[in-house]
Amino acid sequence: MTYSKRPKYRIYAKRWKAARNLVFTEELYAEIAEHQPKQGEILLSKDATPGIAHYLREAPDKMIPAGGILRLKSKSDRINNEYLTLVLNSILTQEQVNRDVGDSVILHWRPDQVASTVIPILPQEKQTEIHEKVLESFNLRKRAKDLLEHAKRAVEIAIEQDEQAAIEWLESVSEKGDI
Protein backbone atom coordinates (compact mmCIF):
# COMPACT_ATOMS: atom_id res chain seq x y z
CA MET A 1 0.00 0.00 0.00
CA THR A 2 1.14 3.49 -0.75
CA TYR A 3 0.59 6.12 1.90
CA SER A 4 1.11 9.83 1.43
CA LYS A 5 2.27 12.26 4.07
CA ARG A 6 -0.50 14.69 3.20
CA PRO A 7 -4.02 13.67 4.26
CA LYS A 8 -6.22 12.58 1.39
CA TYR A 9 -8.74 10.00 2.61
CA ARG A 10 -8.89 8.61 6.10
CA ILE A 11 -9.52 5.05 7.20
CA TYR A 12 -12.32 5.01 9.75
CA ALA A 13 -12.30 2.31 12.38
CA LYS A 14 -14.38 1.10 15.32
CA ARG A 15 -16.28 4.34 15.83
CA TRP A 16 -17.06 6.32 12.70
CA LYS A 17 -15.88 9.65 14.07
CA ALA A 18 -12.55 8.33 15.36
CA ALA A 19 -10.21 8.31 12.37
CA ARG A 20 -6.85 6.64 12.41
CA ASN A 21 -3.98 8.56 10.89
CA LEU A 22 -3.62 6.37 7.82
CA VAL A 23 -4.16 8.25 4.59
CA PHE A 24 -4.33 7.18 0.95
CA THR A 25 -2.89 8.59 -2.22
CA GLU A 26 -5.33 9.39 -5.01
CA GLU A 27 -4.09 6.39 -7.02
CA LEU A 28 -4.60 3.92 -4.18
CA TYR A 29 -8.07 5.27 -3.44
CA ALA A 30 -9.03 4.77 -7.11
CA GLU A 31 -8.06 1.10 -6.81
CA ILE A 32 -10.18 0.49 -3.70
CA ALA A 33 -13.04 2.98 -4.27
CA GLU A 34 -15.50 0.09 -4.66
CA HIS A 35 -15.35 -0.24 -0.85
CA GLN A 36 -16.58 3.35 -0.33
CA PRO A 37 -19.81 3.24 1.71
CA LYS A 38 -22.85 4.73 0.00
CA GLN A 39 -25.87 6.66 1.18
CA GLY A 40 -28.59 4.30 2.42
CA GLU A 41 -26.20 1.61 3.63
CA ILE A 42 -25.78 0.51 7.23
CA LEU A 43 -22.31 0.23 8.75
CA LEU A 44 -22.14 -2.51 11.40
CA SER A 45 -19.19 -3.26 13.66
CA LYS A 46 -18.30 -6.94 13.91
CA ASP A 47 -15.01 -6.80 15.84
CA ALA A 48 -13.94 -5.45 19.26
CA THR A 49 -17.34 -3.83 19.98
CA PRO A 50 -19.66 -5.89 17.76
CA GLY A 51 -23.23 -4.89 17.11
CA ILE A 52 -22.97 -1.11 16.74
CA ALA A 53 -24.94 0.00 13.67
CA HIS A 54 -25.01 3.35 11.89
CA TYR A 55 -27.35 4.24 9.01
CA LEU A 56 -25.86 6.56 6.38
CA ARG A 57 -28.65 9.09 5.79
CA GLU A 58 -26.37 11.22 3.63
CA ALA A 59 -23.52 10.36 1.29
CA PRO A 60 -20.43 10.01 3.51
CA ASP A 61 -17.07 11.65 2.92
CA LYS A 62 -14.52 9.59 1.04
CA MET A 63 -13.42 6.81 3.35
CA ILE A 64 -12.75 3.11 3.44
CA PRO A 65 -14.11 1.29 6.50
CA ALA A 66 -11.76 -0.94 8.45
CA GLY A 67 -12.08 -4.71 8.09
CA GLY A 68 -14.12 -4.91 11.30
CA ILE A 69 -16.95 -2.90 9.74
CA LEU A 70 -19.60 -4.56 7.56
CA ARG A 71 -21.54 -2.64 4.93
CA LEU A 72 -25.16 -3.83 4.92
CA LYS A 73 -27.63 -3.21 2.13
CA SER A 74 -31.27 -4.17 2.25
CA LYS A 75 -32.31 -6.67 -0.41
CA SER A 76 -35.98 -6.35 0.42
CA ASP A 77 -38.64 -3.69 0.79
CA ARG A 78 -40.06 -5.57 3.79
CA ILE A 79 -37.81 -3.74 6.23
CA ASN A 80 -37.00 -0.04 6.53
CA ASN A 81 -33.28 0.75 6.96
CA GLU A 82 -33.90 3.18 9.85
CA TYR A 83 -35.91 0.50 11.62
CA LEU A 84 -33.27 -2.15 10.89
CA THR A 85 -30.55 0.10 12.33
CA LEU A 86 -32.62 0.63 15.45
CA VAL A 87 -33.13 -3.13 15.87
CA LEU A 88 -29.42 -3.80 15.29
CA ASN A 89 -28.60 -1.34 18.09
CA SER A 90 -31.22 -2.84 20.43
CA ILE A 91 -30.83 -5.15 23.42
CA LEU A 92 -32.34 -7.93 21.30
CA THR A 93 -29.39 -7.86 18.91
CA GLN A 94 -26.85 -7.27 21.70
CA GLU A 95 -27.99 -10.47 23.41
CA GLN A 96 -27.55 -12.37 20.14
CA VAL A 97 -24.07 -10.87 19.80
CA ASN A 98 -23.23 -11.93 23.37
CA ARG A 99 -24.40 -15.45 22.60
CA ASP A 100 -22.42 -15.65 19.36
CA VAL A 101 -19.07 -14.11 20.36
CA GLY A 102 -18.64 -16.23 23.49
CA ASP A 103 -15.90 -15.50 26.00
CA SER A 104 -13.18 -14.38 23.62
CA VAL A 105 -10.62 -11.81 24.71
CA ILE A 106 -11.11 -9.93 21.44
CA LEU A 107 -14.76 -10.06 20.48
CA HIS A 108 -15.45 -11.09 16.89
CA TRP A 109 -18.90 -11.52 15.34
CA ARG A 110 -18.55 -13.61 12.19
CA PRO A 111 -20.43 -12.54 9.04
CA ASP A 112 -22.36 -15.84 8.99
CA GLN A 113 -23.52 -15.10 12.56
CA VAL A 114 -24.55 -11.58 11.51
CA ALA A 115 -26.52 -13.06 8.60
CA SER A 116 -28.39 -15.41 10.95
CA THR A 117 -29.40 -12.64 13.37
CA VAL A 118 -33.12 -12.76 14.18
CA ILE A 119 -34.78 -9.48 13.22
CA PRO A 120 -38.42 -8.93 14.20
CA ILE A 121 -40.30 -7.56 11.20
CA LEU A 122 -43.10 -5.22 12.13
CA PRO A 123 -45.92 -4.18 9.77
CA GLN A 124 -44.82 -1.49 7.31
CA GLU A 125 -47.01 1.15 8.99
CA LYS A 126 -45.23 0.62 12.33
CA GLN A 127 -41.82 0.72 10.64
CA THR A 128 -42.78 4.00 8.95
CA GLU A 129 -43.96 5.39 12.28
CA ILE A 130 -40.64 4.40 13.90
CA HIS A 131 -38.75 5.89 10.95
CA GLU A 132 -40.58 9.20 11.41
CA LYS A 133 -39.88 9.21 15.16
CA VAL A 134 -36.16 8.56 14.51
CA LEU A 135 -36.02 11.43 12.01
CA GLU A 136 -37.87 13.71 14.43
CA SER A 137 -35.42 12.74 17.17
CA PHE A 138 -32.42 13.60 14.98
CA ASN A 139 -33.98 16.92 13.94
CA LEU A 140 -34.75 17.84 17.55
CA ARG A 141 -31.22 16.88 18.60
CA LYS A 142 -29.78 19.10 15.85
CA ARG A 143 -32.08 21.95 16.91
CA ALA A 144 -30.99 21.55 20.55
CA LYS A 145 -27.33 21.71 19.52
CA ASP A 146 -28.01 24.83 17.44
CA LEU A 147 -29.83 26.48 20.35
CA LEU A 148 -26.96 25.63 22.68
CA GLU A 149 -24.46 27.21 20.25
CA HIS A 150 -26.63 30.34 20.00
CA ALA A 151 -26.88 30.53 23.79
CA LYS A 152 -23.09 30.18 24.14
CA ARG A 153 -22.54 32.91 21.56
CA ALA A 154 -25.04 35.18 23.31
CA VAL A 155 -23.21 34.71 26.63
CA GLU A 156 -19.91 35.52 24.89
CA ILE A 157 -21.42 38.71 23.45
CA ALA A 158 -22.84 39.65 26.86
CA ILE A 159 -19.40 39.23 28.45
CA GLU A 160 -17.46 40.97 25.66
CA GLN A 161 -19.95 43.81 25.15
CA ASP A 162 -23.11 43.95 27.24
CA GLU A 163 -26.43 42.19 27.76
CA GLN A 164 -28.30 44.49 25.40
CA ALA A 165 -25.94 43.60 22.53
CA ALA A 166 -26.49 39.90 23.27
CA ILE A 167 -30.27 40.35 23.26
CA GLU A 168 -30.12 42.26 19.98
CA TRP A 169 -27.95 39.53 18.44
CA LEU A 170 -30.40 36.85 19.58
CA GLU A 171 -33.33 38.83 18.14
CA SER A 172 -31.52 39.25 14.79
CA VAL A 173 -30.76 35.53 14.66
CA SER A 174 -34.37 34.62 15.51
CA GLU A 175 -35.67 36.97 12.77
CA LYS A 176 -33.52 35.08 10.23
CA GLY A 177 -35.14 31.86 11.38
CA ASP A 178 -31.93 30.40 12.80
CA ILE A 179 -33.56 29.88 16.19
Q: What is the pLDDT of residues 150-170, one digit of tens each?
A: 999 999 999 999 999 999 999
Asked whether residue 161 falls in the same domain as residue 111, the answer is no
Q: Which of 43-52, 72-81, 107-116, 152-161 has the lowest mean pLDDT?
A: 72-81
Higher-confidence position of 7 and 25 = 25
Residue 16: give the domain boundaries.
1-120
Pair (137, 151) in one structural domain: yes
pLDDT score recorded for residue 60? 87
Q: Are strands 63-65 and 69-72 parallel, antiparallel or unpaired?
A: unpaired
Pair 46, 102 in one domain: yes
Q: Name beta bridge partners: 13.
A: 15
Pair 66, 90 in one domain? yes
The secondary structure of 122-148 as a DSSP string is --HHHHHHHHHHHHHHHHHHHHHHHHH
Handedness of CA 136, 137, 143, 147 (dihedral sign): positive
Q: H or E stretch including 56?
A: none
Looking at the structure, tell me whether residues 92 and 138 fall in a common domain: no
How far apart CA 101 and CA 99 sit, in angstroms, is 6
Same domain, 112 and 128: no
User: The pTM is what?
Assistant: 0.71
> Do 47 and 91 have their domain in common?
yes
Q: Are residues 94 and 170 in the same domain?
A: no
Domain count, the chain: 2
